[in-house]
Amino acid sequence: MIPHRLPHLAQRLFNRPLAILPDKAEVVMAVLADRLGVARLFRADGSAAALDMEVLGPGSSDPARNRPFEMVGPVAVIPIEGTLVHKLGCIHPYSGMTGYDGIRAMFASAWDDPDVRAIVLDIDSPGGEVSGCFDLVDQIYAARQTGEKPIWAILDEGAYSAAYAIASAATRITVPRTGGTGSVGVIALHTDLSKALTAQGVTVTVITYGAHKADGIETEPLSDEVRARFQADVDAMGDLFVATVARNRGLTPAAVKATQALTYLGDAGTKIGFADAVLSPDAAMSELLGSLR
């Protein structure tokens, strides 16, 4: 890990809401640092792809070769794997991460492709950043509402937290027996290094303009007032998450909120309304292909 990236990494991880499984929150720092804040997307071969989804370059004569997604028959498959981040800078999953920017690029390209009759969101993710997640979810949900193409979320294995928010926007969700859904909640982490610095004989003097400029700084304990404000932000994000899933899945907000961010294994997710069927990924794909004949 590059040392000069560590401050940037801390900004992405701490003192901001995350929609991710708690046991994954600590390891996010290992995969986020280098790939955030990139305004352009790049394919695996290094070629650039514009964010406006103009994936075919001037003079291109073979659209199939330029598709940023894989095709299974008439179905576009969009991989959503690992930790989800706002801006990865790559269309495809990379180094254990998937960017909302890449998902957006692939989805828009697939939606506009006349040869694509259906879209599969191939999901195996514990979730990730809140930033950028719900705009993407709304984009997928709006497309679904047109009824032009079926959108299936085929889980292989789980879709939790932010990944479940994405899955919930699909027309149909399938989950394998050993996979899972849920974790409709938000978490924020704060580090307090003040005691460690004191033990090392280090004094940090914070000089600010604005009474709240240093709220949540890691060199000071978290005050009750600041904690309450951070909790209010997390609650607001959580309410948005609950309302979004309730809308997408045809559930009441009260029912979604009552899950209290629980996760559900296999068929338990169908019983709560978070999935439509328990199927292996292959069986789900076969069912979708059969419905298109």
Q: What is the DSSP string of 15-55?
A: SS-EEE-HHHHGGGHHHHGGGSS--SEE-TTS-EE-TT---
Q: Select which of 109, 161, 168, 183 is catalytic.
A: 161
> What is the Cβ-side half-sphere exposure of residue 292, based on CA atoms within 13 angstroms?
22
Catalytic residue among 47, 60, 95, 213: 213
**Catalytic residue flag (residue 291):** no
Q: Count of CB atoms within 10 A of residue 268's CB?
A: 17
User: What's the DSSP call for residue 189?
Assistant: B
End-to-end CA distance of the chain: 49
Which of helix, strand or coil describes residue 148? coil
Tell me which H or E stretch contains 236: helix 224-249
The yes-or-no answer on residue 257 being catalytic is: no
Q: Which distant-in-sequence residues (6+ apart) come within 8 Å of 243 by Cβ? A: 253
Q: Which helix (H) or strand (E) holds 126?
A: strand 118-129
Torsional class of 260: left (φ above 0), alpha (ψ -120 to 50), beta (otherwise): left
Query: Which residues have a catalytic role annotated?
Result: 161, 213
